[in-house]
Amino acid sequence: MKTVVITGASSGIGKAAAQVFAKAGWNVAATMRNPAKETELQQLKNVRLYSLDVTDVASIGAALQAVQRDYGRIDVVVNNAGYGVDGVFEAMTDEVIEKQFDTNVFGLMRVTREAIKIMRAQKGGTIIQIASMGGRLTFPLFSIYHGTKWAVEGFTESLQYEVAAMGIKVRIVEPGAIKTEFYGRSRQFIKPDYTTDYDSFVNKSEKISVDAGSKGEDPKVVAETILKAANATGNRLRYAVGSPAPLLLLLRKLLPDSLFFGIVRATYKI
């Protein structure tokens, strides 16, 4: 049986991925900051829970070593842990910006670095980064979130060249609007309390974003694509999944900036 490590497996896409991989017969190392709180995954016979905080280098090393001890080999690492901050950039403090990048970018890089060490020694493996359609196009009020996902895209695209000779494949999964806590309890929305200048813009843009999230697809759709990417033997880098990601990414590629930006502005009525 192959072994997969999934970060951020306590909810959303990460939890759905753990369930899909388990059903497919994989050994699943489901990692999260507080495994004691997770009850559903504990009931699956080929799933084990591990404590891992992507902002803590020591916890990453300890978790991956424990998985190696338990299973002997790590075939796939899914970098799913992350969250979103949206709102008015002017009102965002250094602390907010740094926390967003520490989790979504530096955390992903930390896990990737440790995974490479293990996979280089075992002469093979696959690293799957959960990015977003927002890693190659943008929407209003998501400036720093987009900044993290664009960073993940560039980092991973470059990384593929240096690890290929060691038998390590990298993939990027780019979800569209998915029903997760990204739009719910984990959402962090920020706007200034010292001016009303942004209010009209925020009211229009936020409504469109929330509506899109409420109509999003089930995380299982993304989980199944992650499994597909894990099983793939070719060198395909990107997997867009979940409406409207495939269509929007195609339009972003084909249309000039002015036309694509015009479509976004018309959609948001800004």
* Surface-to-core class of residue 45, CB atoms within 10 Å of its CB (0-12 exposed, 13-18 middle, 19+ buried): exposed
Residue 141: which region, alpha, beta or left (left: phi > 0; alpha: psi -120 to 50)?
left
Q: How many residues does the chain have?
A: 270
145 is a catalytic site residue: yes
DSSP string, the chain: --EEEESSTTSHHHHHHHHHHHHTT-EEEEEES-GGG--SGGGSTTEEEEE--TT-HHHHHHHHHHHHHHHS---EEEE-----EEE-GGG--HHHHHHHHIIIIIIHHHHHHHHHHHHHHHT-EEEEEE--GGGTS--TT-HHHHHHHHHHHHHHHHHHHHHGGGTEEEEEEEE-SB-SGGGTTT-EEE--SS--TTHHHHHHHHHHHHHHHHTPBPHHHHHHHHHHHHH--S---EEEESTTHHHHHHHHHHS-HHHHHHHHHHHHT-
Q: Which of 71, 145, 183, 239 is catalytic?
A: 145
Q: Catalytic residue positions?
A: 145
